[in-house]
């Protein structure tokens, strides 16, 4: 056998190009010379060096999300919480102050209340539906504000325009988590956001088989700070997850439209059923922020809804067990409908009293509506309601 070198062989020459983005799991990329490598690091030419610093599958996915959000140079991270962490720790330092919406995702709340203070970053929480409340929480050292356009899981609509105006006047960076709403409903940069982020894991990828985040800033200076923090702390996304997420995004628009239509039908149905105390869906007439939903979300209610059963944990257990085929799982945005119980999952760490202050009881459920036909979904929820009623 003739001795051969192991690497590199290179790809076979071809006059055609692949229809599907190739999966590129390479950890490192070879350069011709030290000068060529210097040219890449100095920004004179584009290229890849080490996967932690960027790889093709992440960039392809990032450009797809950039196009939806109307921006450029977004960065993909290993999870949605990695994107949140990059914003909070990559853009703040000890001595800064951060204001967050009081109904953020549970882990975002934990980071605000526990992790940032131990690192010397003070935090306050305020009602995002009230721009004046946000303004009142600001201090001279306030560096950043973090909000979600639609709160999790009570689906309140933030006063995005008012908060953006206050942030601009006070020189505070506005970071918007657009996971719940997605760019199909709103593009926060158009409303004055400085940074926008997503848990790509959810509706953008849409199949519950990847864990990824995305974050982008409106200025090169902020983008560089985010990039350096992400690379240094190793928030690298998996090439395979990026490849799967890109495939999932090809159907995002169709999935969003179908799930949104079904979510409204399910919300209207549940609102008229015995044993249901209340239903929350942004475009229903009984939603407390309906007028703002029409203005901010352009009348698009999205695929998320919440409802509250009469009773407590016994009724919740009975409902979840009887709604066969609906996954009881703490996630959202899947092609299949999922049911989440915040008191036992996303908001369990808050304690009963804090949850009650947010309107989250033992009978409260969040629903991420998927691609099932509305009639089948309604019938399954009716099975759950009958079981909950029998458990009363």
The two tokens of residue 258 are 């179908």
Candidates 105, 156, 255, 355; catalytic one: 105
Candidates 64, 202, 218, 292; catalytic one: 202
The two tokens of residue 228 are 């350096």
> Residue 159: what are its φ and ψ, rounded to 5°?
-80, 75
Instruction: Say whether 105 is catalytic.
Output: yes
Q: Give SS3 for 86.
A: helix
Candidates 177, 194, 289, 334; catalytic one: 177
Handedness of CA 245, 91, 331, 234 (dihedral sign): positive
Question: Are 168 and 131 in contact, with CB atoms under 8 Å apart?
Answer: no
Angle between helices 374-390 and 252-271 (to 10 degrees): 40
Instruction: Say whether 170 is catalytic.
Output: no
Of 290, 69, 319, which is closest to residue 195 (Cα–Cα)? Answer: 69
The full DSSP string for 78-132 is SSHHHHHHHHHHHS--TT-EEEEETT--HHHHHIIIIIHHHTT-EEEEE-TT-HH
Instruction: Say whether 52 is catalytic.
Output: yes
Instruction: Say whether 290 is catalytic.
Output: no
The two tokens of residue 3 are 């001795």
Q: What residues act catalytically?
A: 52, 105, 177, 202
């Amino acid at each position: 056998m003739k001795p051969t070198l192991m690497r590199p062989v290179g790809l076979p020459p071809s006059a055609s190009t692949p229809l599907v983005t190739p999966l590129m799991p390479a950890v490192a990329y070879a350069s011709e010379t030290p000068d060529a490598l210097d040219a890449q690091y100095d920004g004179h030419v584009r290229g890849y060096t080490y996967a932690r610093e960027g790889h093709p599958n992440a960039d392809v996915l990032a450009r797809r999300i950039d196009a939806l959000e109307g921006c450029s140079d977004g960065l993909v991270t290993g999870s949605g919480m990695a994107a949140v962490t990059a914003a909070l720790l990559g853009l703040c330092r000890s001595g800064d102050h951060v204001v967050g919406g009081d109904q953020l995702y549970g882990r975002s709340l934990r980071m605000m209340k526990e992790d940032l203070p131990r690192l010397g970053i003070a935090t306050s929480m305020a009602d995002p539906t009230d721009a004046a409340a946000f303004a009142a929480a600001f201090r001279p050292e306030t560096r950043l504000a973090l909000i979600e356009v639609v709160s999790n899981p009570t689906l309140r609509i933030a006063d995005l325009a008012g908060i953006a105006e206050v942030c601009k006047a006070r020189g505070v960076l506005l970071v918007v988590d657009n996971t719940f709403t997605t760019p199909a409903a709103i593009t926060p940069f158009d409303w004055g956001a400085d940074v926008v982020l997503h848990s790509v894991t959810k509706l953008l990828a849409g199949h519950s088989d990847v864990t990824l985040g995305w974050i982008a800033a409106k200025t090169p200076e902020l983008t560089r700070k985010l990039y350096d923090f992400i690379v240094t702390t190793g928030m690298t996304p998996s090439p395979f997850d990026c490849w799967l997420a890109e495939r999932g995004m090809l159907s995002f628009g169709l999935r969003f439209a179908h799930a949104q239509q079904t979510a409204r039908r399910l919300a209207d149905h549940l609102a008229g059923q015995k044993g249901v105390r209340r239903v929350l869906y942004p475009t229903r007439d009984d939603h407390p922020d309906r007028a703002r939903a029409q203005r901010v979300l352009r009348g698009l209610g999205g695929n998320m809804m919440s409802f509250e059963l009469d009773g407590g944990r016994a009724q919740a257990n009975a409902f979840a067990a009887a709604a066969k085929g609906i996954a009881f799982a703490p996630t959202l945005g899947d092609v299949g409908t999922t049911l989440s119980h915040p008191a036992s999952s996303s908001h369990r760490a808050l304690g009963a009293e804090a949850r009650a202050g947010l309107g989250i009881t033992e009978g409260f459920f969040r629903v991420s509506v998927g691609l099932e036909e509305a009639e089948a979904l309604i019938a399954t929820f009716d099975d759950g309601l009958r079981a909950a009623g029998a458990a009363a």
